[in-house]
Structure 1
Amino acid sequence: MSDLTAAPSRPAPEPDAGLGGVDVLTVGEALVSLRSSAPLNLGGSLTMHLAGAESNVAIGLARLGHRAAWVGRVSDDELGEFVLRQLRAEGVDTYGVRRDPDRPAGLMFLERRTADLTRVIYQRAGSAGSALGVDDLRGPLAAGPRLVHLSGVTPALSDSAREAVTWVAREAAAVGTPVCLDVNHRARLWSREAARAALVPLAGYASIVVASADELDLVAEPGADEGTAVAGLLRRGVHTVLVKLGADGARAYTRDGVTPVAAVPVTAVDTVGAGDAFTAGYLSGHLDGLDLTGRLGRAVALGAFAVVASGDWEGLPRRDELSLITGSVAGTTLR
């Protein structure tokens, strides 16, 4: 069962060529990520990176040759310019982005505590990204993207951001544009109760819902198990529910049943951004017209690329690099 209209991919466009013809429109907050390999309280040195769930997905798609656009607000200073330069360098369209002269960039500090544990500190309250509003999205949506990708991070930032995300999902669904929603719960931003109140109605506009197993009840009744939550989403019109299982792979549910996929066995270096890479791989496979097994194969392949390199998105592949990580998924070699 298809949840998008398949079409051949195209070469990555020149950035900011205008939003017409975009494959995927992503909406959210892009953060300036400051990473340290030593404890911050000991004065560990910092390196600056771009981070953000939706921008990670946009970069993953752009690297595979799809035309991806990211829309949000950025600060009108050097940090905002850094965000835009990073996105444009990766071929992501930022034509609809607004510069906000009154608010700062959102910051994320990451300190590597052990080989497999990274601690995150946010400074994003009152950021430019949190001031996202409906008017920021009218033009980008009117340009007619083939798909809209959202996450549960953005509606947690502010009332205006929640209104904007709900508006774009509702308007996209009303004209038949598929919506992908990654639950992506951030406990530091809002409670599970507040998240559920916003995400349950939002999921009603989605064609694709992506969630970890422990996030599914945020788009269903409190305490719902996986089967109950998935059944409810499918009854509401969701076409595909993707359940991320980390090192155990994933499960895809449609009205035809459940399809499991194993993770590609690799040595993990940094798991930050792996879920966003998985989503980008799935959407890329669908845009390329792959069947469900092929889409899942590409999803776990991109997840593997994400965890074998440091950074949210830096290790994601170009199209001609997909064969560097191969595995057997349901008897087929990843492409």
Structure 2
Amino acid sequence: MIDLFGIGNALVDFESGIKESFLDDHLLEKGHMYLKDGAEIGLMRDKLTSDLKMSSGGSAANTIYGASGFGLNCAYCGRVQDDEAGGFFVREMKEAGIHLDDIRRESSQSTSTGNCLVLVTEDAQRTMCTNLGISSELSVEDLNLNRLKSSGYLYVEGYLAASETGSQAAQKAIEVAKEHGIPVVLTLSDVSMVNFFRSDIEKFCASQVNTIFCNEEEALCWAGTDRLEIAFKRLKEIGKGVHVTVGSRGSLVCGPKENPKEVKGLETEVNDTNGAGDMYAAAALSMIVRGFTHVEAARFGNYAAAQIVRQYGARLSSVEAYQTIKNQFANGS
């Protein structure tokens, strides 16, 4: 049985350190995600002075990769091109033991594997410019419904709202999951998704999902308020369980039958916040799936997120590194 079935935009990340003036020159607001075409991203890459680090990415893919590292049996549904980047993505996921029966590798030469230019400023904040490429063509046809029906949980990234067919695939997956009593977990992904694709995200959680993951900025934007306690109440309307990460302060969480609780974060050196939310979700879900409370899950989520921000890149160097973190947490390190 699959513990966790994830669906999202399959991307390859190219990460670079930059000065804040680079963001100003390209009219980018720090900490946000922008959808760009390949030509625009190419022009930006040409102006970068530091080396690019290549790694498999995509929000749900990062979380599924981490959850697999923490011991869950995971499957992933996305779409990549039959090109070098697509092959790289598939290899990394398969090496982590993730079931990729549901990923489609198209042979068309017109669209490349989706990619994301991750720009990290000196304060460790990440700004992302994403070319969805062939991942924007993810559709209902890509879903392995038999595998989904035999899964324990469904994990959906909010970024899918940016594509019409991706949104339809997400809605279908959620519909099937609910028909078969499978808990649905949704991440809001980015404040840009809340701002520009809210109506689609509302369709994802039309009859309330089991758990919502988001950060403080996304929560406040969703509720149209500057008070987190108000935003949290609004999120409880769409999710039985809610996890709102608040950076180094930790997270505000509650399960379906739990009262909201602040779970303190860990003080740590921060070099790169790219992937922190994905890592938090991976760690928290690895606990929730095993029956732990949301508060207990949040403690591990905060611990794991504190480890990923110390390094550059959204994933740890190996699957074994996730097990090391899990063991350290269990031993109280």
Normalised by the size of structure 2, how large is the TM-score? Answer: 0.82
CA RMSD of aligned residues (A): 2.5
The farther-off stretch of 176-185 and 137-146 is 137-146
Where does residue 249 of structure 2 map in the other structure?
Answer: 248
2:273 is equivalent to residue 271 of structure 1: yes
Q: Which residue of 2 aligns with 1:161?
A: 166
- How big is each residue's C-alpha offset from its partner over 1:40-84, in whole Å with a ceiling of 9 and x where there is no partner? 415433232111100110111111111111111110122111110
Change (3 A) 1:77 1:149: same
Secondary structure of 1:271's match?
coil
Q: SS of the residue aligned with 1:128?
A: helix
Amino acid at match of 1:206: V
The answer for the alignment partner of 1:209 in structure 2 is 212
Deviation, structure 1 residue 334: 4.7
Q: Which one of the candidate residues 170, 176, 180 is aligned to 1:171?
A: 176
* Structure 2 unaligned spans of 5+: 20-44
Secondary structure of the corresponding residue to residue 143 of structure 2: helix
Amino acid at match of 2:253: A
Q: Report how many residues are paired.
A: 301
Q: 2:9 aligns with which of 29, 42, 54?
A: 29
> Which of 75, 82, 98 matches 2:81?
75
Is the contact made by 1:242 and 1:252 (CA closer than 8 Å) also made in structure 2?
yes
The C-alpha deviation readout for 1:221-267, integer Å capped at 9, x for no partner, is x448544444344455x321111101110011344311111112211
Deviation at 1:320, TM superposition (A): 4.0
CA contact (8 A) 1:141 1:172 kept: no
Give per-residue Cα distances to partners, 1:127-153, cap 9 Å, x unaligned: 111101112114355441100001111
Determine if contact 2:10/2:114 at 8 Å carries over to the other structure.
yes
Shift of the 99–277 alpha-carbon distance from structure 1 to 2, 3 Å rule, reads same
Amino acid at match of 1:301: Y
| One-letter amino acid matched to 2:218 | E
Is the Cα contact below 8 Å between 2:188 and 2:194 reproduced in 1? Answer: no
Would the alpha carbon gap of residues 140 and 37 (structure 1) be closer, same or farther in structure 2, given more than 3 Å must change?
Answer: farther
Q: 1:1-335 residue pairs with structure 2 within 5 A?
A: 21-37=1-17, 40=45, 41-102=47-108, 103-114=111-122, 116-124=124-132, 127-139=133-145, 141-156=147-162, 158-185=163-190, 187=192, 192=195, 194-203=196-205, 204-216=207-219, 222-223=224-225, 225-235=227-237, 238-254=239-255, 255-314=257-316, 317-324=321-328, 334=332
- Return the alpha-carbon distance in structure 1 between the equivalents of residues 226 and 200 of structure 2: 17
3-state SS of paired residue (1:96): coil
Specify every segment of 5 or more residues in structure 1 that has no aligned partner in the other structure, as ranges. 1-20, 327-332
Structure 1 residues 281 and 191, CA, compared in 2 at 3 Å: closer, same or farther? closer
Q: State the SS of the aligned residue for 1:173.
A: helix
Give the helix-richer structure, 1 or 2: 2
Q: Supply the distance in 2 between the matched residues of 1:34 and 1:263 (Cα, whole angstroms).
A: 28
Superposition deviation, residue 34 in structure 1: 1.7
Distance 1:226 1:46, change over 3 A: closer
